Each structure stands twice: as C-alpha cells, then as structure tokens.
Amino acid sequence: MRQIYYTIQILLRGRGSNFIKLMSLTLGLLIGILLFSQIAYELSYENFYKDPECVALMRCRRVKDGIPDKEYDYSTFRPAAADLWEALPDLIESASLSVNFYQPEFYIDDKKLDDVQPMFADTLFFHTIGLDVLRGDPKELGTPLYAFLSQSKARELFGDEEPVGKTLSMGKMMDITVRGIYQDVPGNTAYRHNIVISLPTLEEHIFGRGTWRSNDIYNVFFRLKTPEDVEAMNGRIQKAVERYTETKEGTDVMEFSVLPLPDIYLSTPDTVRRLVILGVLGFSIFFVSIMNYVLAAVASFSRRAKAVGVHKCCGADGTHVLGMFMWETGLLVLTSIVACLMLMCLFREGIEDLLHVRLVELFTWNNLWVPGLTVLLLFFVAGILPGRMFATIPVTQIFRRYTDSKRSWKRGLLFVQFIGVAFILGMLITTIWQYHDLMTRSIGFRTERLAIGQYHMEDPQGVEDAIRRQPYVESVARNSNSLIAHYSTTGLTDTQGNFLCPLHYQNVTKDFPQIVGMKLVEGSWPEHTGEALIGRKVVETMKWGDKALGQRLPVNAQWVGLDSQPTVVGIVEDVRNMGFFMEQTCTAFILSDSRNFAYNVRLKEPLDENLARLNAFVKEAYPKAALEFTTYTDIQRQGYSDVYRFRNTVWVTSVCIFFIVLMGLVGYVSDETQRRSKEIAIRKVNGAEAPSILGLLSMDILKVAVGAVIVGTGFAWYVSGAWLEQFADSVLPSPVWFVLLALLLLALIVLLVIFKAWRIANENPVQSIKSE
C-alpha cells in the first residue's frame, strides 16, 4: 500500500509529463489493439464452421506450355460436385453447390431491404459447409423460390413474428418464400450470406443450368471424411475429372485441385501482403508510443534522482524502486485502457467503417487474447526498461546533483520515433496517390455524370425514350451489363486452336459507344446489327496488326441475338471492366438489340440533385420495377472500398504517430534546454547570439533526425512497392515525393526545436546563472 501511495504522489507532482505519457500510451494502445485484433480476426476466417478443416473448395487454373497460371479460379462447373462424389466415395462424405456472385435487391412491400447478402445453394449446402439448421428441412432448397434466413436476419426483418412462410421480393421479379432458419454466419468469412436461396431459383429463372463445358459460376464444396483426405483427393482429382470431361484445349490443360476452407482467405498473395503491412503499421505506432513513454521517463531522471536516493536511504533496494515504477506504469496503462474504451465507444461507427467489421465481432472471447497480450507487452516493456534505469541510481545521489543525462538513450529513442513517423508518412503518400490514381485514371470511357440502372423490362426502348425526355437528362443508351463488371465470356484461340485468353463481350445499342464516351482508335462506329468494336488488347492478343478490321469474333451468334458471328468494324481504347486489381482483359462490344436491359444515362449538372430526380421518376413511372440508378463513380468507389479503407487507416495511424512523436520531441527539447540552460547562458555571456544558440540545438537534433528520416522513407518506399503489387499497371509515386517528404519532415523538426528553444535562447543569461 505504501508503494501505491508514493506512486500516486509522484503522478500528481508530474502532471505535465504524465499527460504526455498518457496520450502516447492511449493512442499507441488504441491503434495497436485495433490493427492487431483486425489481423487476428482475418487470420481466423472460416474457423466457425463445424470441422472446417474437413471442408474443401474445388479450384482450377490453366497450365499453358507446362507453366501454370499464378491465380486460381475458385468457381467451376456444376457437374463436378456429383461426379467427383461418385468417383471418390472413399474420400468424400458429401458435396454441395453454391453461387454468391449474383446479388439482386430484395424488397418487402416495395420497401428496399438493406444489407441482404444472398447465397444460392442446393439441399446439401448446410451439411457440407458445417452450419446448423435451426428450423426447417434443408431438402426444401431443391424447390424453386424457397429460401432459408439466418437467425439474426429473420429477427431483423420480422421481429417477433413467425418468419417461416413469409415472402420477400427478389428484384421485384419473383417472390421468395422463407422455409427455414439457420445459424448466423459471422463476418470473418469470404462467403458472407444471411439468406440462402434454392439453387433452382437461379438456374430456372436467371442463368440456366450449367454443364461441364458452360456456366463455370459454381463454388463446389466437399466435406471430406478426414482432414488428411485433402492431400489424397488432390492426388486423384485430375484423373477423376478426366473421366467426365476433356481437360485439354490444344496445348493447354485445365488443372483441378481442392483447398481446405480455412486456407482460402490467405491463399491470395494480396491478402497476405495487406495483413503484413497492417502488422507493420500496428507495430510502428505501438513501438513508437512505448519509446515515447520511455523517453519521457528518461527525461525525468535529473528531477527524480534525489527522490530515488531518499528511498534508498530509507531502506529501499533496486527491486523496490523497480516495483514502484511498475506501479506507476500500471496505473498509467490502466488509465489509458479506460481512455481507449471511451474512444472506441465515442467513435464506434467510424472505427467499424474503417475496419469493415463490427467491434462486437472483432473482440469476441476467442479474440480477446490479442488486446490482452498487447496490454501486457506494453506494460512490461514500458515499465521494466526505464524502471531498471531508476533502480541503478546510486544512493549517494542524495548528496550531489545527478549528472547522468542518459543522452545516448534519449537519442536512440528519438531515432526510433523519427524512423516510425517517416515510414508512416511515406506510406500515407503512397495510399493517397494510389487511391487518387485509381479514381481518376482513364478506364476507357467517360464516367463524369454517367449513371447506370439495370432491370429486365418488357419494353426497354420505351423506358429509354421516357428517360430521354426528362429535362435533366443529357443522353441515354442501353447495353447488356454495367461497363465495370464481368461480361459474358468466350475463348480466344490462335490459328492452331490453342486457348489464348477469355474475350469479355456484351451487346450495345446504336450510338452507345459515343454516348458513354469510348475513344475510337481505328475504323468506324458500328452502324448495323452484327458490327462490333474491340479493344486494343484483342488486336495485340490475336496478333492481327493492321488486319483487325473485318475479322470475325468467336462469339455464339445465337446468344447475342445474331444470325452469324459479329464483324469487327472499329478499335477502341481498352475498357478496364475488371478494374485495376486485374490485368487488362480483351473486350468487345457488339451492336445488337437483344438482352440490352442496362440503361446508361448521362445527367446534367447538378449531378446529385438530378440523380435523385431520375430515381424518383422511374420509381413513380415504373413502381413494380426494381430500377434504381447509381453513378459509375460510386461503383468505382465501392470496387476500391478496401483501398479507401486502407488509405484511411494509414491516415489515422499517421496523425496519431505524428502527434506522439511531436509530444516526444517537445519533451526532449524542453529537457535539453533546461539541462543545458547554464551552458547556453555562459555561451551568451561570451558573445553568442540567439541564432547561433538555436542553430546549436537544431544541429544536435538533426544529427539524430537525418539518418532516421532516410531510413524511414527508404523503408516506406520498399513497403509501398509491395502494397502496389496487387494493382495491375501501377507504379510507385515519383521518388521526388519521398525526398520532399523527408525534407519537409526535417524542416518541421527544426521549426519545432526553434519554437521550443526560442525563450531560453533569448533569455537574459543572468537569470540562468543566478539560479546556480
């Protein structure tokens, strides 16, 4: 109890320095806990299923000339589930099909529902994947227009009412009847859903039934009898597939394998890379906050040395002194924990949006070891490191002035902090530049004021004409699908029949390319049905050179509503339909009035007001249609939401670490000017001017800062390159930006030193000498 009393008295006497320590610990602990918990949360993907290590997902990739593609395709063909179960019954307990890329809107009594995440699946889905069915018979998923709701979604939609038997409208095209309830799926899954709809609903009303050679849109899951059967299945799956379909296309081979469900999320290098960078960010701010705490403690040595000497004269040994400092650190850490909890409560919505996960899911019982370990690490490092220094202060200190300034420690700690802030700010430059580049880089057409809405209408031309007549509409054109999406595909092959790559194609109406702002490179715009535009990538892939015009595209003529294959009449700049996460695709746009149910509308200014007017008009004119418009800019933002959140994470981390380093530097300069006040006074008496004093102090800091800033910005350059590897055609910002960052950071450090030392540099030296 006596140690606690002494500790409280010390904390009360050092309120200024304790505030700096508390702020450093709170910011470092808050960001560190959030980032480390986010990493642990994502590392636990898919672990909530029943025996998840026994569940495997089928995947495939193309092997061209003996060299396999780097990326796997995790969607494959429908018959794979039943056929492989039949071929490998000694390994497979059950197999299931699901589709989750189709995300229609849902309504109840014309009210659009928020956050409905559908999954289309067959009758064995729940058993195979390992989810408990709470009510209902899963066999009913074999009936079209039937569905199961998650427990929480059923409660959200229907409250205390009986959900079984209730209906939801899917896209205002068909009514879905609820036939059962299943356990909630948490957020740490790559396959999120809160409603499972019968697979026949999708196959009979939307896309048709897939075969071994068409509609490779299915996720095929297997529940194996033991976890070891994954390896055994991978050794036999290729031959099993070859019993049912041809796996060779010319010299290319489709290679099939399975991957355990818990390994899927981390199977992509981009995910691993992002988590590593998050770990580096979290460690940076966490370590810098600890070093700032230690720096503040070391800076108080000269002031607290006599008190330590008094305690030792009264019988305290080094262990007691260390214990006293541990109590002090413990109370500050406990206070910072309370402050962190308050900040999490106050900014809960912002934090959840930043991390894209609810805090109640992030801090589950299974995940609480992360913040607990973080707090313990902070406590022991921040407590023991300076505590041992205090414990070594000699008892003779009570009789003389303590002269050990621990300058090597102070400079070392400042060096670490400067590295941290330079690194984080360097990452900030990269993320800001990258997001701006993604949102402003040309994607092959003009997105300014361009909105799109999709719905299958009986008279699409009439709808187009009605929209065109509105005074706030500049132009309208139709096509098959959003320009930023996965189009229909067919294979491009060379003259020997070898597969080259997929061709992404869709139908468009006349004048559509001009209205959406495509850029014609060669040839002419399509004027007659059956004429087509292709991107530069097609010409390059097919090696057509200057002979592209007049070529035939290998597209199923019946599917696009033609009597024969379309003819190329023009070449346009490539459209980045799959965004910049993937390489440029081969694209084609075919003039045909078949299947064109996507309405592209170029609005007049002001955009937001006119977009609202357009949506109000179609809702009033077509109340039974789920036709709603959104801008391509918003679609891009949604597609790059992970990049946006990562940028914001770096923003927040940068602000916090800059503030921590700022407080540490202020404390260091204050301590140094106080410690060297007599030296400065003597220099002034001997003729030194204020600028020379300020230059002396600035150079003292720059000796530490220059090397640290170079190391930090260099590390930021390296890590930025790793981050940008996930984006096709992306390059690092110019090195000039990193050089300017380093110079700006050094200038800010010098300005802060001058600001803090200005008073002592201009003070009458007599005042300092008189106090000696």
Candidate from 24-28, 254-258, 259-263, 691-695 with smallest mean pLDDT: 691-695
Task: Give residue 396's pLDDT.
Answer: 56
User: What share of the chain has pLDDT > 90, as a percent?
Assistant: 49
**How many residues appear in the chain?**
772
- The reported pTM is 0.82
The segment with the largest mean pLDDT, out of 150-159, 322-331, 400-409, is: 150-159
- Summarize the confidence of residues 601-625 as an average pLDDT: 94
Phi then psi dihedrals of residue 55, to 5 deg: -100, 130
Taking the mean position of all CA atoms in its chain, how far away is CA 710?
28
Task: Give residue 226's pLDDT.
Answer: 94
Give Dmax over CA atoms of the chain in angstroms: 104
Lookup: tokens for 707: 């090397």
For the segment 649-677, what is each residue's pLDDT rounded down to a tens digit?
Answer: 889 988 888 888 887 787 777 766 666 66
For the segment 715-763, what is each residue's pLDDT rounded down to a tens digit?
Answer: 999 888 888 877 777 778 888 999 999 999 999 888 888 887 777 666 6
Contact yes or no for 483/577 (Cβ under 8 A): yes
User: Over 80: is that where the pLDDT of 636 sits?
Assistant: yes
User: Over 80: is that where the pLDDT of 579 sits?
Assistant: yes
Task: Give residue 154's pLDDT.
Answer: 95
Q: Which pLDDT band, with edges at 50, 70 and 90, does 498 fall under?
A: confident
User: What share of the chain has pLDDT > 70, as a percent?
Assistant: 88
686 or 190, which is more confident: 190
User: Over 80: is that where the pLDDT of 295 sits?
Assistant: no
Q: Is 214 helix (H, G, I), strand (E, B) or coil?
A: strand
Taking the mean position of all CA atoms in its chain, how far away is CA 101?
19
- Summarize the confidence of residues 156-184 as an average pLDDT: 93
Task: Give residue 766's pLDDT.
Answer: 57
- Summarize the confidence of residues 124-140 as an average pLDDT: 96
d(CA 570, CA 588): 10
Residue 223, H or E segment: strand 219-224
166 or 2, which is more confident: 166
User: Over 90: is that where the pLDDT of 303 sits?
Assistant: no
User: Over 50: is that where the pLDDT of 402 sits?
Assistant: no
Task: Give residue 383's pLDDT.
Answer: 80
Strand partners, 493: 499
Task: Give residue 213's pLDDT.
Answer: 79
Q: Is 603 helix (H, G, I), strand (E, B) or coil?
A: strand
- Summarize the confidence of residues 267-275 as an average pLDDT: 86
Contact yes or no for 121/220 (Cβ under 8 A): no
- Summarize the confidence of residues 426-444 as an average pLDDT: 88
DSSP 82-110: HHHHHH-TTTEEEEEEEE-S----EEETT
Report the b/e string of 552-580 with b at 16+ CB within 10 A: ebebebeebebeebbbbbbbbbbbbbbbb
d(CA 772, CA 759): 19
User: Over 90: is that where the pLDDT of 521 sits?
Assistant: yes
- Measure Cα distances from 678 to 1, 178, 375 in Å: 40, 83, 41
Q: Domain-by-domain residue ranges, the chain?
A: 1-45+264-272+281-404, 103-206, 413-441+639-772, 456-626
d(CA 424, CA 430): 10
Lookup: tokens for 617: 């008009």
227 or 457, which is more confident: 227
User: Over 80: is that where the pLDDT of 12 sits?
Assistant: no
421 or 306, which is more confident: 421
- Summarize the confidence of residues 490-503 as an average pLDDT: 81
Task: Give residue 729's pLDDT.
Answer: 72
d(CA 744, CA 270): 32
Q: Which amino acid is at 734?
A: S
d(CA 147, CA 167): 9
User: Over 90: is that where the pLDDT of 144 sits?
Assistant: yes
d(CA 558, CA 572): 25
User: Over 60: is that where the pLDDT of 137 sits?
Assistant: yes
The segment with the largest mean pLDDT, out of 11-25, 396-410, 419-433, 518-532, is: 518-532
732 or 148, which is more confident: 148
* Burial grade of 684 (CB within 10 A; 0-12, 13-18, 19 or more): buried
Q: Which pLDDT band, with edges at 50, 70 and 90, does 417 fall under?
A: confident
The pairs formed by 646-651 with CB atoms below 8 angstroms and a separation of 24 or more are 646/274, 646/431, 647/431, 647/432, 647/434, 647/435, 648/354, 649/35, 649/278, 649/281, 649/354, 649/355, 650/281, 650/424, 650/427, 650/428, 650/431, 651/428, 651/431
Contact yes or no for 325/383 (Cβ under 8 A): yes
- The whole-chain average pLDDT of the chain stands at 86
Lookup: tokens for 640: 């790059």
Q: Which pLDDT band, with edges at 50, 70 and 90, does 538 fall under?
A: very high
Candidate from 270-284, 537-551, 656-670 with smallest mean pLDDT: 656-670
